[in-house]
Copies of this chain bind each other. A is one copy, B any other.
Amino acid sequence: MAAAPVWSVDPRTGKQREQVAHEATAEEVDRAVRGAHAARAALADRTARAALLRTAADLLDEAGEHVIEAADAETALGPVRLTGELARTTAQLRAFAEVVDEGAFLDVRIDHADADRTPPWPDLRRWKVPLGVVAVYSASNFPLAFSVPGGDTASALAAGCPVVVKAHPDHPATSELCASVLRRAAAEVGLPEDVVNLVHGFEAGVELVRHPLVSAAGFTGSIRGGRALFDAAAARPTPIPFHGELGSLNPVVITEAAAAERAEQIGAGLAGSMTLGEGQFCTKPGFVLAPAGEPGDRLVKSLTTAVSETEPGVMLDHRMRDAFVAGVRERAALPGVDAPITPGAGGEHTVSAGFLTVDAELLATEGAHDLLLEECFGPVTVVARYSSPAEITSVLSRLPGNLTATLQLAEEEADGTAPGAAGLLAELTPLAGRVLVNGWPTGVAVAPAQHHGGPYPATTSTSTSVGATAIERWLRPVSYQSTPAALLPAELRDDNPLDLPRRVDGRPEN
């Protein structure tokens, strides 16, 4: 049987552009994993890792025009957004080079022998070592920042783990191009090209998570696909960590005072955030609790105005477009649901943004309206109008886990004296990994303190896929007991030749 072709498709027309690869057979997946596995030893050198990450960033910047053109042709995300995404991707690679240089991620802890303990303590020296080959499953909606050269790859390489990336079918040509750039970067710094490998195809993705030499996986995508891979990872004879980001509703709560203070500004901000990138961000605000009554009416009016000014747009692929059209139709048909601006099909290849409104009361108990509490990928949000603080609480208690939760407060509520604001913040915190006040959740800063993750189904673990601590996913601790200094890695020696931050005898030492 001939290997199935992998086509690059133009979402603006639905037409095949070119065949860029073929789906990997089980043998080809095996070869890719074994190649990566053999490259582990070379990646043990942290200086080489940092050089790889910086060189990869430089080469991606150099190839920028080409990369952006390829990505736009396959994703229709447009050059402005893709230029930003590339900048974010190369900044992320360089940020992980800094993480590698500083070495705090090694979490070095030294306890000297202590004969006064009962029983006596031996000398113990702990640090973290790379897990091994990491499988990376690319996202549809970020052809760069959450795909081949994205955060999973960057953090895994930073940790010392070679990667095998499963390309997303929405951007195979961009994936091939980026993989070749990363492999060239490896060669330039004297590392094996096989520190980065690429495979295409659904079955290849399943083979990959089951491969005995794969030690961990990172995933960004749908609940259905991610859960299937999570289940496969857990069912292995030797289960492996599966760090998946699956789906998120990203609730927003707008207090009555906030709506009274700036309904127009909030409505416009919400419209911008929910329609950004055709509503295809994992942090799109998909569910909004807004007050009933006049201030809330003003907010809905402002949202109506802003959304009505949005042009139809192209989604990442036609399957998503069709799912969006069907999803909004099903939601809009529920009793009690109105559509001030009806979302749905635009032209033959496009979609139109819109939003739905509903009484929050209908969501306070289980029923058909629970569909409104499920993520609908694309430019739509659901505005639930509440009549009392108790109604906010009862709806929030029914939400699944989220990447983000947002609170819109009035200025008078932000000083901590109004009990309502602190209470709402406390109610939102269990729901999400990032809690925002008076901002919008789209736009995830690649900053050290970022946390991009949240209770299931936002993520399948307690980890983050963005920010300095994303590296922690690919490491495991090892303690050396009573090991002669001459045999210890330099990182664990008393004289600290590499000047690493560490904890000695239970106390931090810089």
Contact = CB atoms under 8 A, between A and B. Distances in A.
- How many copies of this chain does the complex contain? 2
Contacts of A117: 445, 447
A433 to B, nearest CB: 6
A445 B437 CA distance: 45
B433 A479 contact: yes
Given A110-B449, A119-B443, A438 B482 contact: yes
B121 A447 contact: yes
Interface residues of A, number: 81
A171 interface: no
Contacts of A432: 478
A249 to B, nearest CB: 15
B510 A433 contact: no
Contact of A487 (B131, B400, B416): B416
A143 to B, nearest CB: 18
Contacts of A457: 238
Nearest to A236: B456
A433 B121 contact: no
A339 interface: no
Given A239-B460, A422-B487, A453-B477, 14 more contacts: A84-B118, A121-B447, A122-B436, A124-B447, A126-B467, A230-B234, A230-B239, A433-B479, A435-B480, A436-B480, A436-B482, A437-B481, A449-B479, A464-B477
Interface of A: 84, 87, 98, 104, 107, 109-111, 114, 117-119, 121-122, 124-126, 129, 131, 230-231, 234-235, 238-239, 241, 400-401, 409, 414-417, 421-422, 425, 429, 432-439, 443, 445, 447-451, 453, 455-457, 460-462, 464, 467-469, 475-484, 486-487, 501, 503, 505-506, 508, 510
